Every structure is written in C-alpha cells, then in structure tokens.
Amino acid sequence: MPIPSSLIDHPGQIPSQTGRRFVVTGATGGLGIELTRALATAGADVVMAVRNTTAGEQAAERVRRTGAPGRVEVRQLDVADLASIHAFAGDLEQVDVLINNAGIMGVPQGQTVDGFEMQIGTNHLGHFALTNLVLPKLTDRVVLLGSHAHWSGRLDVDDLDHATRRYGGYPAYAQSKLATLLFMGELQRRLTAAGSSVRAVGAHPGYTATGITMHTGNGLFTSISRLGNLVAGMKPWRGALPVLAAATLDIPGDTYLGPRAAGGFLGSPAPARRSRAASDTGLAADLWQRSASLTGVDFPL
C-alpha cells in the first residue's frame, strides 16, 4: 500500500484507539511518557513497562490527571535483564501493539546482568527477547525504535560485546540501532512466512530533546548535547510523532518512519531511509541466529 509523504502533524490526529491495548517500554519520561499520554488520550489502555515502578507510578499519575479516557497501568520490566523480561512476558495478557521504546545511548562500557555489552543488551537483545516472548499474545504489530546513528553502525555478529574491538560509546550505540533495523526486517520476513497478520514496523525520532544523551560519562559531550537540545532539538511530543504514526496508522510491515525535514532530523513523520547495511538480509539472518543463541529465545510462530 502507498504511504503518504506526510502522515500526522500532532498527536491529536491519530485515529481513535478505544478498545486497543498497548505496551510501551521505558515509559517514565522522554518519548515514552509522550507516547503513553497520546495513546491514552486517544482511548487506548496502556501498560507502562518500566524499570523503576515508583517513577512509573508518578508518570502514570501525570497522564491520569490530564483526564485521558484510556486506562494506564504500571508494570515492572528491565529490558537489560532476561529474568525480568521473562517474568513480564509471562504475566502479560493479550495486547494489540508492543512499542519497544526503552533505550540508552553512548554510555560508558559496562555489562547487563546477563553479561551482554550494555547498549546491545538493552537496545537490541532485551527487546529481541521481549518481542519473541510476547509475540503469541500480540494481535497487531510491534514497533521498534531506530536512530539516524544506524547509518554509521558496524555490526560484528561474532563480537556484539566489543570483546575484540575497541569500545566507543557512540559506535556501540550505532551498532545497537543497526541491529534494531536488521531485527525489524528479519522479523517481518518470518511473520510473513508464518502467515501471520502481525506487522513489524519502525520509527526514529530525529533530533529530539530528551535525556538520553545525558548519561554518557563525557562531560563535554553532555554539555554540547544539552545546548543542542535547547537550540535545535524538537520537543518530545514532536519526536514521538513518527512512533505514534508507526503504532496507529495502517502501514505495511517493515515500514520505517522518521521526521521529513532537515535531512530526517526535524519535522513531521514521513517514510525514512535506511542504510544498505540495515537492508542486508544475510546479515539480518545471522544476527537473528546469534541473538537467539545469546538470549535463549527464538521465533515462536
């Protein structure tokens, strides 16, 4: 089906979501709470899947105070912890849309509780496991969060943890976002082959002023990012528009959306380009096998 060059310009333009149920990971701030607010305002019931449930309840209360008709509830989920992912997915009821929003960017080298490099473990492997565990309960689609950074991503399926490569916070982030887009394409191919009507789609927020750049451990980078956010960054509600479009509009599987202006960094959502590496089906298949081996979770259909 053709996708229009411009989709929505405001959260209030998404279709009614009454009767639909969403999961939003990383829903306490930034894009996550904007997604939750917009979906609940459109009538959806939203499960806010968060690492810190105290912060999650505070965020949920802010949404409730808007008078949004949709119900919001908070559940504990740490996408950097496979045990937490299994517990969350095991307790989850049927859901229409899973939005894999949680993520980290450019952090100092570290490991998840399962021993994965922190960024690939959080941004890709955690959501890989979560998606495949939730898939039998999913009726409509999964939305994956990409980034312009994927264009510079270099992915080594045999060394996702940078054990034999020099670690850099931004290159590791770029690798994790390239992995996200490869996962999206391979997931859609598997869904299609299985005869499933579930769709795998993606979106990126362009240059949006959120706190994701504030935890790199590099004071200069943090200062520059803070200034950039003030001067040029979009408000989080605008950065959330491509994700809302991907989550609610009738678009084909493997569609990737992002801002349409300033080289894809600013503006309202439209179809977005992806790198040649992000479209490499062989690399995507290899990454899938490696991800399944590392997480112990595989395609369930």
Six token digits for residue 299:
């395609």
From 37, 96, 23, select the one nearest 65 (Cα to Cα): 37
CA–CA dist 23, 46 (Å, integer): 6
Q: Match 């459109």 to its residue by tokens.
A: 42
Residue 173 annotated in active site: yes
From 208, 181, 206, select the one nearest 259 (Cα to Cα): 206
Three-state SS for 257?
strand
Q: Which of 170, 173, 207, 256 is catalytic?
A: 173
Q: Match 């003030």 to its residue by tokens.
A: 230
Helix (H) / strand (E) element for 4: namely: none
Contact call for residues 200 and 226 (beta carbons, < 8 A):
no
From 144, 153, 103, 106, select the one nearest 123 (Cα to Cα): 103
Beta partners for 100? 144
Contact call for residues 265 and 273 (beta carbons, < 8 A):
no
- Enumerate the active-site residues: 173
